[in-house]
Every structure is written in C-alpha cells, then in structure tokens.
Amino acid sequence: EKKIFTVQGPYPIIRSLMRARGWVERKFSSVGKVTGRREQHRGSQEPAQEKEGDGAGAERGEASRLVKDQVPYFIWTNRCNAVDCRLLQQDQLMNHYARVGSFTTKEGLCQNLRNVSWLDQADPDTFFPRCYRLRAAEERQAFIEDFRLTAARSLLRVAVERSGDVLASMEEPPKPSEGPRLLWFQCHHIHPMLSSAGSGLPLPPHLVEEALQVCGQHLDSLGHHDIDGDPSSPHTVGINWDRFLQDYYRVVHEGAGLELSRAQREQGRILLQLLARQLPQQAMEGDHNVWILKPGAKSRGRGIVCTARLEEVLRLAGVCTAPSARVGEWVVQKYVERPLLIFGTKFDIRQWFLVTDWNPLTVWFYRESYLRFCSQPFSLHHLDPARHLCNVSIQKRYRMAQGRHPQLPAEQTWCCWQLQTYLARVGRRDAWHQVMVPGMKAALVTALRSAQDLVENRKGSFELYGADFIFGEDCQPWLLEINVSPTMAPSSAVTRRLCANVQRDILRVVIDHRNNPASPTGAFELIYKE
C-alpha cells in the first residue's frame, strides 16, 4: 500500500500520527535509499530516536528492519537540502521544495517584492517596510537617499508637532511671571523647540527651510514621475547632507531646539499631509529614522542591529571598510517605529501557512498563531535587542524588566485568541478579523506570487512556512520575513499546543484531504488557488 515513511530529526508527533494511520517507519539514512536510485550520500545518518523499550516499540523496530531497503512514500526532513527533490518519484510525498530562497531569505524577499507590481496591482509599500540590499550599488545609494528624505520628513514633523504644543499653550491666559516671555513669542512668531537640559541654543531657522525644500522637491517628484523614473530620489541641490544630518540628530536624539516661523509651520503641516497621501509608510515610520540591519540569509535574529544613524549603518555593513563581497551579506529595512504595543511592550506574531502546489499556486492559511513578546518595555531612546527583537532565541538571553505589567505572560507568548481578547478590552474588537487577518493573507499571497516562477515546483511536495508580522498602531500588519522549516520545538505551553496541532493538521491536508477531498483540514484554510 506504499505506507512507508521516513523522518529526519526529532519529530515525535509526526512519527506518532503516521503510525496511527497504519504507516511503517523506515529509519532515515541515505539519499539513494530514500529515492530508490543509486545516488551519492548527501545527508547524515538519523540522530538517536526514541528508545524501543516496550513491546510496541520492539514491534515497530522489527517493522522498520523489514522495510529498511524499501522506498519511503512520505519523507519529512528538518533541512530543505537533506534530499534532492529532483531524484524523487512522483508518488513520494516530501515536505520541502527546492529554490525557495527567493522569498525565505531577507535578500530574496526584498528583491522579489520590488518586482511585484509587474504581476498584480498590489503595492508592497502597504505591507512590507521598505528594504534595500546593500550589496547592489544602486540600492545602496537608494537607501542613502531614503535615509536623507526620511530625516527631512522627521525633522519637519517634529518641528510642526512641537510648535503646535507651544502655540496651544500661548492661547492660555499667561501667568504674571510668564507674560513677557509669551508676549515675546507672539510678537516674533518664533517657536523654540522643547529641549532637554543642556541642549544649548536653538538651531538656526535655515535647517527647517532646508527640510521644507527637500520635502517639497520630493512631493513634486512623486506627482510627476513616470514608470522609468525613481520617485524616491528627487534631485536636491545645495544641501550639505553631512551637516544637515548632524543637526537633525541634535534635534531628534538630543533634544536641541529649533526656530520656526508660523509660515514655516503651516507650510510644513500641509507638506506632510500631502506626502502622507503618496507614502503609505509615513504613518509607521516615526521621527527617529530607525533602520534595522539584517544579515541577508540568517535566521532567529542572529546579527540583527537597530540604529538611527546613517554612518553607523554603513559602518556595520562594512560599506566603508570591507570589499564589496562582504557588503552583499546585508539588507537594511525601515524599522516600524509606531508599532501596536501591549502594556507598553513590543510583540510580533508567528503566522504559519502551507503551500501544497506552486503551479497552480495553492496556499493554506493556519487560523491559529502565536505572539512573541520582548522582555523590556518599548523605547526608541534605547535600541537594544531586549526591547526590539521578539525572537525567542534572542529574548531568552535577557531577564524580565522590573515592574513588568502583571498581565504580560511569564513565558512571553500568547496565542492569537488572547490577543483578540485584549483588543476587545481596549475597544478594537473587530480589528483582528477586519484588518489584521485579511492584511496578513493578502501580504502572503502577494509575496508568494512574486517568487512563484523562481521556486522549483514538484508535484507531491508540500512545505510549511512561518511568517513574522508586526502590527502598526492602526493594526495594519507589516510583513517582516518568511522562514523555511519553522521550529516545531515548543518554548512555552502555548507553542507546545500549537506546534502539535499544526503538525496534526498538515497531515490532514497532505494525506487525508489529498486522498479524500471531503476530509477535514483542521485549522488550515484554503485562501488561494490559481
């Protein structure tokens, strides 16, 4: 009946569920035995598995010995390159596809989403924070231009917001001791920024004038660009960017003051409103111009750094000190500075989905997901990993913050149902079903379509992926990355239940539903089939 399976790695749930279906396990060994062809060994021997101490275990061990030379028809490995998919027979099920790096590496996702507009009407700027591969000279220059433009918008936003606070205070009747000072403000139409102690004299008004000039040119380029133009790179002349950025850092990061006239304030307010209509990411980008630097092909948060200074990004990426080969290892992405927080703490969400065919593209969305919390409260004044990187492998290095909100989980994970309960409590009951889930589904389908022609399709293969999303203050989901071979090792009570469930439901889709379309698929929902 071809009910022979093999598993590489510690997947006791998969083994148990396959045996319950009447399948016999053949211990994982070499590629040649897996594929039924004489091929060179490229995988490693299976690590130690569960002990066969009881009677049932001894019986399973005997059955495995009887089929040790037989071809398995269900293959589950923990590495996508453990078996060459091209060598498999068509009736052998395999839990991986080849050449999926086009969307499961940071470089691949960055590159392919940039080309998605040729496939459909989706705009990646509405769900994927803008991203650049520092290896490519053109993209590196585009990032530098983007950083400068973002700095100009941020400076203008800070100036307008702080001047609004002062103008509002001027409408209140002045206290006797404040009268002369407020009268001076009104007469001279000057706004000194709120500043930290020791910040010194306000910076000269030409800094705001330069920001207005840059933003005005950017708006003009957005309104008149054609398909061959680059709307993000207006030609700004006469700006000393090194000096401008240093002054910008003083204002935003050090609290220095600014001089701002009423006319400049009104012009800046209008410009920002017009730019917001053209730039979908303006609402989430904040004021600090924080970017996140990522190694192009690593996972679990390794090597990731947050920084708010252009020269620091270029230095860390080796642009100034290393040959171009090293530069190619990095991507830089705009950090979501205005995320949805829970009790003042940042979180992201791991969302599973399953692809059972690439032609026609067939995508299943898992209706359960889990949140991962940081161990320290969110702050843009401190860019350390404990506050900004939600990966479990990162957060386990840090202690919980003192005074942490008692309703935050001790194991730093929630299931999506707990998030929905929290949203209902804060007056956003419908956000999950009306904004978050539809946004995640649309983002995933668009990302997969952008890479569809690059993946090596094989009938009989399937693959589970783990997408990481963060939500903005408006609950809009932002796709951060897509992971191949997401971990099934539980790190909490929440993930222990969910990892077991998703493995059970994968088999329901790829075995039960494949043989009988009327069979239930558990929490997997078919969201796209070409």
**Rounded to an integer, what distance in angstroms lies between the CA atom of residue 27 and that of residue 34?**
10
Residue 309 has pLDDT above 50, yes or no: yes
Q: Which span out of 185-199, 333-347, 394-408 was modeled with the highest average pLDDT?
A: 333-347
Place of tokens 């101490």: 53
CA dihedral 140, 143, 147, 148 (to 10 degrees): 70
With vertex at residue 374, the alpha carbon angle to CA 369 and CA 378, rounded to the nearest 5 degrees, is 120
Question: Does residue 291 contact residue 332 with C-beta atoms inside 8 Å?
Answer: yes
Please state the rounded mean pLDDT for residues 85-113: 90
**Maximum pairwise Cα distance, the chain:** 97
Question: Does residue 315 contact residue 321 with C-beta atoms inside 8 Å?
Answer: yes
Rg of the chain on CA atoms, in Å: 27
- Eight-state DSSP code of residue 483: E
Give residue 194's pLDDT: 35
**Rounded to an integer, what distance in angstroms lies between the CA atom of residue 252 and that of residue 289?**
9
Q: How confident is the model at residue 275 (pLDDT cuts 50, 70, 90)?
A: very high
Q: How confident is the model at residue 37 (pLDDT cuts 50, 70, 90)?
A: low
Burial code (b: 16+ CB inside 10 Å, e: under 16) for 24-57 equals bbbbbbebebbbeeeeeeebeeeeebeeeeeeee
Residue 26 has pLDDT above 90, yes or no: yes
Residue 234 has pLDDT above 90, yes or no: no
Q: How confident is the model at residue 81 (pLDDT cuts 50, 70, 90)?
A: confident
Instruction: Determine phi and psi for 180, rounding to 5 degrees.
Output: -60, -40
Question: Does residue 235 contact residue 217 with C-beta atoms inside 8 Å?
Answer: yes
Please state the rounded mean pLDDT for residues 336-342: 97
Question: Does residue 332 contact residue 293 with C-beta atoms inside 8 Å?
Answer: yes
Q: How confident is the model at residue 48 (pLDDT cuts 50, 70, 90)?
A: very low
Please state the rounded mean pLDDT for residues 259-266: 89
Q: How confident is the model at residue 230 (pLDDT cuts 50, 70, 90)?
A: low
Q: 362-371 pLDDT, tens per residue?
A: 999 999 999 9
Specify the higher pLDDT residue, 313 or 48: 313
Question: Does residue 26 contact residue 72 with C-beta atoms inside 8 Å?
Answer: yes
Q: How many CA atoms lie within 13 A of 216 on its CB side?
A: 10
Residue 483 has pLDDT above 70, yes or no: yes
Give residue 150's pLDDT: 97
Q: How many CA atoms lie within 13 A of 110 on its CB side?
A: 26
Least confident of 205-209, 236-240, 397-401, 474-478: 236-240
Question: Does residue 103 contact residue 112 with C-beta atoms inside 8 Å?
Answer: yes
Residue 280, token pair as written in the block:
């979908």
Residue 315, token pair as written in the block:
């230095």
Residue 321 has pLDDT above 80, yes or no: no
Find, among 183, 223, 112, the residue nearest to 449 by Cα.
112
Specify the higher pLDDT residue, 396 or 246: 246
218 by Cβ neighbours in 10 Å (0-12 / 13-18 / 19+) ranks as: buried
- Eight-state DSSP code of residue 130: -
Mean of all residue pLDDT scores within the chain: 84
Please state the rounded mean pLDDT for residues 43-63: 56
Give residue 369's pLDDT: 98
Residue 525 has pLDDT above 50, yes or no: yes
**Rounded to an integer, what distance in angstroms lies between the CA atom of residue 316 and that of residue 311?**
9
Residue 528 has pLDDT above 90, yes or no: yes
Give residue 34's pLDDT: 62
Q: How far apart are the first and last CA of the chain?
A: 32
Where along the chain do its domains lie?
A: 102-129+338-529, 130-166+203-226+235-335
Question: Does residue 154 contact residue 188 with C-beta atoms inside 8 Å?
Answer: no
Question: Does residue 265 contact residue 160 with C-beta atoms inside 8 Å?
Answer: yes
Least confident of 74-78, 204-208, 285-289, 453-457: 204-208
Q: 137-154 pLDDT, tens per residue?
A: 999 999 999 999 999 999
Q: 174-213 pLDDT, tens per residue?
A: 454 444 333 323 333 333 343 323 355 667 778 999 999 9
Q: How confident is the model at residue 448 (pLDDT cuts 50, 70, 90)?
A: very high
CATH number belonging to the domain at 102-129+338-529, selected among 3.30.470.20, 2.60.40.10, 3.90.226.10, 3.30.70.660: 3.30.470.20
Please state the rounded mean pLDDT for residues 408-417: 95
Q: How confident is the model at residue 355 (pLDDT cuts 50, 70, 90)?
A: very high
Specify the higher pLDDT residue, 168 or 359: 359
Please state the rounded mean pLDDT for residues 109-128: 86
Specify the higher pLDDT residue, 273 or 398: 273
Instruction: Determine phi and psi for 216, rounding to 5 degrees.
Output: -65, -45
**Rounded to an integer, what distance in angstroms lies between the CA atom of residue 197 and that of residue 312?**
26
Give residue 109's pLDDT: 93
Place of tokens 């490693």: 44
Burial code (b: 16+ CB inside 10 Å, e: under 16) for 424-448 equals eeeebeebbeebbbebbbbbbbbbb
Contacts of 372 (CB under 8 A, 6+ apart): 347, 348, 349, 350, 390, 391, 392, 395, 412, 413
Find, among 145, 260, 276, 143, the residue nearest to 212 by Cα.
260
Give residue 186's pLDDT: 38
Entry pTM: 0.86
